[in-house]
């Protein structure tokens, strides 16, 4: 009797062990499949675009091919039922009305203006107008200012001449005594602060237009313009700090320091933005992120 019970217990233990082994193998397979799915989702979300969809015929598909085929068939059926939309023809962009127009009159020669039937001259009864956008590259020109001298030829005592910088046409340069006019200064500012071009590229642009302006000269011109703009910048600063809201952000830049040969320091560019009552953007530069020099601390 005892031997029979022991044999039954052994058989039960063996069956339980087999079931556990089968359960472990099934869970391992499910775990491996879930791991593969997780890696696939990660590669789609965070992988490089060139690595997100890689076809390899030597590898089995992760999911059931039958399910995929059924889904593809449904998609094909939907596409077959869905009517195709006609592609709209791209319309040419309308040329803005504010652009300057240069009119070209295109008429037939005089010998073709007579009627072939009666010989009478045919008047204009209509005009077809077409537009073509064109561009005139920037070009340099020189203000040649002639300041005439007048003197008395009789007593030779009186001399009259328009002072330099007071020409009747008005000032031609923002910096008294400068060899460059408003247009050159304007283009230099646009190159540097609107198009974010380094000075050596501006030097190349000017050279292609026929005039070489060295970058050290450009730097001096920008410094002179900055001095003129100081009054406006200070006014904008005072207004934005007087408002109820002030937005501030900074970014680090590498700064050369002659006292540290071969090394760079970390400086800061600051952006200050006023509220709706003073919607100005003011940029500033400091050599550190400390309290000294920052508009955020010096005005509060």
Mark whether 150 and 225 lie in a shared domain.
yes
Q: How far apart are CA 80 and CA 6, in angstroms?
A: 69
- Residue 100 is assigned to a structural domain of this protein: no
- Residue 124 is assigned to a structural domain of this protein: no
**Structure tokens belonging to residue 271:** 């952006």
Q: How far apart are CA 74 and CA 296, in angstroms?
A: 62
Mark whether 215 and 161 lie in a shared domain.
yes
129: left (phi over 0), alpha (psi -120 to 50) or beta: beta
Give 125's pLDDT tier (boundaries 50, 70, 90). very high
For 28, phi and psi rounded to 5 degrees? -65, -40
CB 241 within 8 A of CB 273: no
Mark whether 264 and 204 lie in a shared domain.
no
Give 226's pLDDT tier (boundaries 50, 70, 90). very high
- Residue 30 is assigned to a structural domain of this protein: no
CB neighbours (10 Å) of residue 54?
Answer: 9
Mark whether 275 and 217 lie in a shared domain.
no
Mark whether 255 and 278 lie in a shared domain.
yes
- Residue 297 is assigned to a structural domain of this protein: yes
Mark whether 152 and 225 lie in a shared domain.
yes
Q: Are strands 149-151 and 246-256 parallel, antiparallel or unpaired?
A: unpaired
The kind and range of the H/E element at 267 are strand 264-274
- Residue 205 is assigned to a structural domain of this protein: yes
Mark whether 203 and 256 lie in a shared domain.
no
The tens digit of pLDDT for each residue in 164-205 reads: 777 766 677 888 888 999 999 999 999 999 999 999 999 999
Domain end marker among 229, 259, 276: 229
User: Which residue matches tokens 């030829």?
Assistant: 153
Mark whether 266 and 216 lie in a shared domain.
no
Look at residue 63 and tell me whether its pLDDT is greater than 50: no
Which of 165, 115, 111 lies closest to 143 in space, CA to CA? Answer: 165
CB-based burial label for 274 (10 Å; 0-12, 13-18, 19+) = buried
Distances, alpha carbon 240 to alpha carbons 243, 246, 268, 269, 289, in Å:
5, 7, 20, 18, 20
Residue numbers of the domain that contains 219: 146-229
Number of domains in the chain: 2
For 273, phi and psi rounded to 5 degrees? -125, 125
Domain end marker among 204, 229, 254: 229
- Residue 167 is assigned to a structural domain of this protein: yes
Q: How far apart are CA 280 and CA 230, in angstroms?
A: 15
Look at residue 112 and tell me whether its pLDDT is greater than 80: yes
pTM for this prediction: 0.58
Mark whether 224 and 154 lie in a shared domain.
yes
**Structure tokens belonging to residue 166:** 């007071």
Domain end marker among 205, 229, 253: 229
- Residue 177 is assigned to a structural domain of this protein: yes
The tens digit of pLDDT for each residue in 33-57 reads: 999 888 888 887 776 655 555 455 5
């Amino acid at each position: 009797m005892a031997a029979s019970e022991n044999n039954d217990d052994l058989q039960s233990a063996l069956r339980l062990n087999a079931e556990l082994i089968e359960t472990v193998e099934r869970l391992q397979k499910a775990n491996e499949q879930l791991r593969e799915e997780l890696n696939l989702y990660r590669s789609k979300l965070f992988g490089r675009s060139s690595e997100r969809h890689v076809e390899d015929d030597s590898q089995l598909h992760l999911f059931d091919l039958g399910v995929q085929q059924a889904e593809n068939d449904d998609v094909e059926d939907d596409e077959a039922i869905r009517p195709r939309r006609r592609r709209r023809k791209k319309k040419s962009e309308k040329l803005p009305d504010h652009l300057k127009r240069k009119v070209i009159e295109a008429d037939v020669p005089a010998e073709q203006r007579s009627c072939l039937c009666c010989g009478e001259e045919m008047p204009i009864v209509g005009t077809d107008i077409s537009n073509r956008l064109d561009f005139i590259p920037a070009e340099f020109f020189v203000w040649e200012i002639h300041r005439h001298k007048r003197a008395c030829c009789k007593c030779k005592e009186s001399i009259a001449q328009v002072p330099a910088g007071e020409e009747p046409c008005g000032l031609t340069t923002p910096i008294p005594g400068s060899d460059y006019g408003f247009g050159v200064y304007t283009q230099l500012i646009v190159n540097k602060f609107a198009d974010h071009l380094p000075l050596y590229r501006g030097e190349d642009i000017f050279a292609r237009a026929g005039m070489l302006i060295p970058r050290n000269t450009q730097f001096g011109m920008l410094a002179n313009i900055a001095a003129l703009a100081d009054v406006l910048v200070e006014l904008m600063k005072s207004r934005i700090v007087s408002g109820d809201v002030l937005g501030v952000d900074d970014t680090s830049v590498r700064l050369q320091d002659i006292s540290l040969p071969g090394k760079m320091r970390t400086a800061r560019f600051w952006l200050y933005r006023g509220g709706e009552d003073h919607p100005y953007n003011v940029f500033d530069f400091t050599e550190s992120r400390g309290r000294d020099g920052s508009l955020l601390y010096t005005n509060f």
